[in-house]
Amino acid sequence: MPASEETGSGPVIHDHRRIDPVTGQVRGKHAASKPAGTTGAGRPAGASGPAGAAGTSSSGNAAGAADAKGGQDEAPGGDAAEEVLEGTVEETPAASQQPSDTETRLAERTADLQRLQAEYANYRKRVDRDRAAVREQAVATVLTGLLPVLDAIDQAREHGELSGGFKSVADSLQSAMGKLGLVAYGEKGDAFDPKIHEALTHTYSPDVTEDTCIEIFQPGYKVGDRILRPARVAVAAPVTGPDGSSNEAGWSSDEEGN
């Protein structure tokens, strides 16, 4: 509350309010000691003399009271600061755990990405393998249908009828089929292999030591490891077996039984 003192020259009014009534702001520690104004013969409130001394004493007491009250008001602020500090200390472990959680999530996402990449690589390999198999099957189907044409060309060549423009067409066709991977096999003297040969006749010969193709009726054709048609051949077996016994006798008895 404002305090006033009367002096010989007139009353001096000191404003000790801590809150400024105009601005609503808290005044400084020394703001309350300043006089609000003077009334009287024109001397300032802080003039020397008994009145000035009394005013100064009153102002000092009021300022001390305000400082003491301000100190009491500021005490809770210190406690609040301590509470904030304690809250910050308690939240520190959670903040320290955050990087580990981030690293865990990063490791999980990395593992997912690696697994997805491996699955995609396997998918591409499988697709490429299936595409190659489909292409090989399609080529084999087309070439199998053209094998009778090649047989006719071979017969015409054996009889000397392959000449002129027909010979050029036949050569071009065989070249194109060779580029697609078609390979002919089967020669006289080849060892008989039931996997790639088809025996149409069977005889015995003292000139061979194992089952041998002595004549080729139709050549065989293959694409890669795929056999399109086995070679049709005549097979001759050795007369004597590994133990020195005659194979002809056994074969004759089998024929008589049939």
For 135-165, the pLDDT digits (tens) are: 989 999 999 999 999 999 988 988 888 888 8
Point out the domain boundary residue: 61, 86, 111.
86
- pLDDT bin (cut points 50, 70, 90) of residue 247 is low
> Does residue 99 fall inside a structural domain?
no
Query: pLDDT at position 160, please?
Result: 85
Q: Give the model confidence (pLDDT) of 13-23 as tens digits.
A: 777 787 888 88
> Does residue 26 fall inside a structural domain?
yes
> Does residue 227 fall inside a structural domain?
yes
Point out the domain boundary residue: 86, 108, 138.
86
Point out the domain boundary residue: 86, 102, 120.
86
Q: Calculate the alpha carbon distances from 25 to 1, 20, 65, 108 in Å.
A: 16, 6, 19, 57
Q: Does pTM surpass 0.95?
A: no
Q: Calculate the alpha carbon distances from 42 to 49, 161, 256 in Å.
A: 14, 150, 164
Question: Is 237 within 8 Å of 192 (Cβ atoms)?
Answer: no
Mean pLDDT of 199-217: 91
> 6 pLDDT exceeds 60?
no
Query: pLDDT at position 48, please?
Result: 42
Query: pLDDT at position 242, please?
Result: 63
Query: pLDDT at position 81, please?
Result: 44
If one compares 112 and 158, the residue with the highest pLDDT of the two is 112
Tokens of 22: 């105009």
Q: What CATH number does residue 243 fall under?
A: 2.30.22.10
From 37-41, 151-155, 190-194, 210-214, the region with the lowest mean pLDDT? 37-41
For the chain, what is the radius of gyration of the CA atoms? 59
> Does residue 225 fall inside a structural domain?
yes
- φ/ψ of 230, rounded to 5, equals -70, 155
Q: Closest Cα to residue 69, out of 1, 18, 13, 4?
A: 18
Residues of the chain above pLDDT 90, percent = 38
Tokens of 131: 């595409």
> Does residue 172 fall inside a structural domain?
no
> 166 pLDDT exceeds 80?
yes
Q: Give the model confidence (pLDDT) of 113-140 as tens digits.
A: 999 999 999 999 999 999 999 998 999 9
Q: Give the model confidence (pLDDT) of 47-96 as tens digits.
A: 444 444 344 444 444 444 444 444 444 444 444 444 444 444 444 555 55
> Does residue 141 fall inside a structural domain?
no
Query: pLDDT at position 29, please?
Result: 58
Q: Which domain holds residue 34?
A: 3-86
> Does residue 197 fall inside a structural domain?
yes
Q: Closest Cα to residue 145, out of 44, 229, 224?
A: 229
Mean pLDDT of 176-194: 92
**Total domain count, the chain:** 2
- pLDDT bin (cut points 50, 70, 90) of residue 221 is very high
> Does residue 138 fall inside a structural domain?
no
